[in-house]
Amino acid sequence: QVQLVESGGGLVQAGGSLRLSCAVSGRTFRRYAMGWFRQAPGKEREFVATIGWSGAWTYYADSVKGRFTISRGNAENTVYLQMNSLKPEDTAVYYCAAADLPGATLEYQYKYWGQGTQVTVSS
pLDDT tens digits along 18-77 = 999 999 997 788 889 999 999 999 999 999 999 999 888 999 999 999 999 999 998 889
Give the pLDDT band of residue 115 (cuts 50, 70, 90): very high
Give the mean pLDDT of 93-119.
96
Determine if residue 67 is left, alpha or beta; phi over 0 gives left, psi from -120 to 50 gives alpha, anything else beta: alpha
Q: At residue 108, does pLDDT exceed 90?
A: yes
Give the mean pLDDT of 98-121.
96
- Position 58 scores a pLDDT of 97
Q: What CA dihedral angle connects 28, 2, 26 and 54, to 10 degrees?
A: 40
- Position 12 scores a pLDDT of 98
| Pick from 73, 88, 80, 65: nearest CA to 6 | 80
Phi, psi of 11 (to 5 degrees): -105, 130
Q: What CA dihedral angle connects 3, 47, 18 and 101, to 10 degrees?
A: 50
CB 72 within 8 A of CB 51: yes
- Taking the C-alpha atoms of residue 71 and residue 41, their distance in angstroms, rounded to an integer, is 26
- Position 89 scores a pLDDT of 97
Q: At residue 109, does pLDDT exceed 90?
A: yes
